[in-house]
Amino acid sequence: AWNACLAGTGVPGWSDSLPSWEPGQAVATRKAGSACIQALLDFVPGLMGGGADLTGNTGTTITGHGVQGADCPEGRQIYFGVREHAMGGICNGLALHGGTLPVCGTFLVFSDYMRGAVRLAALSRARTVFVWSHDSVGVGEDGPTHQPVEHAAALRAMPGLTVFRPADANETAGVWRLVVESDGPSAILLTRQDVPVLAGTSDHEAVARGGYVLADSEGTAEVVLIGTGSEVAVALDAAATLTAAGRAVRVVSMPSTDLFAAQDGGYRDSVLPPGVPTVSVEAGVTFGWAMWADRSVGIDRFGASAPGGEAMTRLGITPGAVVTTVDELLASRQ
């Protein structure tokens, strides 16, 4: 335990403590992330942190281990206050000192307030874990000011920062396994809303590849759908409609474009076969997806003040929109 604490990693068997969920449940990935943190506390002795006055909302509560302060210097829960940039800087200092795995959380839209600290984490290879929840227009009625659309793309553009957007609870657990083993900063983008626990997402080795085949066609695929986060379920629903119409469809979950890009060409080609039309689905700007997709279903505008599901529909993040995009793409190639 002493060596694990000094290294900021886990004691032997730590990865077995990560929870798992049965397909068919509906769990917000922020809640799954919270369950992962709680499960790891007794196995990763250096794990500590909190949120910028949004600890409960982001799932970054550290329970049962004291609150950091003059009367409890060993406390692992830190109340940073509404100071996102300071929070990031404090966690970078903890990470660079060594012996800790610091976690800091806020809403994804507020990652802009701490971008300088995030950039320094990437520059310094600090093992800071940035947990950003409420990761899309699925936030709902708070409206465009609180609905991130450009943020995932902006974070992916930063060298040295590994960005994750898990599809469901089990992918979230797989992401946390990678985060504990990481040698640099990690960003975990999580949903406010419940999302279905999907079949096939509990293979942590597949998640570690950054992208993998989640559902495949019986024969050679004529189109590939790439989904991230909550939109993996949208891609699966679209694939079901397309399959019923006689299309051969593959669905790829891509929790980390960074890790997928780092794979060898043979693996990438096995997931995204060259020459096969590809459509990405993500509730954010389409900027950056041209690297992997021929067409993109996304949101190239600010959001809308409406319940989360209605906002998704109004802004075109639906299985029907994906089906239409696929039909148009395949028609253009005939």
Express each pLDDT in 86-96 by its tens digit. 999 999 999 99
Give mean pLDDT, residues 18-36.
98
Confidence of residue 1 (pLDDT cuts 50, 70, 90): low
- Residues 51-69 have a mean pLDDT of 94
Q: Report which DSSP code applies to 114.
A: G
Encode pLDDT of 132-145 as tens digits.
Answer: 999 999 999 999 99
User: Residue 127 above 80 pLDDT?
Assistant: yes
Cα dist. 64→38, 75, 332 in Å?
9, 9, 58
Structural domains of the chain sorted by starting position, each given as residue range(s) with its CATH number in brackets: 2-196 (3.40.50.970), 204-332 (3.40.50.920)
CB count, 10 Å around CB of 172?
32
pTM over 0.85: yes
> How confident is the prediction for the chain on average, in pLDDT?
96
Is 84 designated active site? yes
pLDDT of residue 92: 99
For the segment 177-229, what is each residue's pLDDT rounded down to a tens digit? 999 999 999 999 999 999 999 999 999 999 999 999 999 999 999 999 999 99
Burial 14-34 (b: 16+ CB within 10 A, else e): bbebbeebeeeeebbbbbbbb
Question: Can you give the pLDDT at residue 62?
Answer: 93
In angstroms, rounded to a whole number, what is the distance separating the alpha carbons of residues 80 and 104? 9
Tell me which of 22, 74, 84, 222 is the catalytic residue.
84
Residues 164-187, mean pLDDT to the nearest whole number: 98
Core vs surface per residue 195-212: b (16+ CB within 10 A) or e: bbbbebbbebebbbbbbb
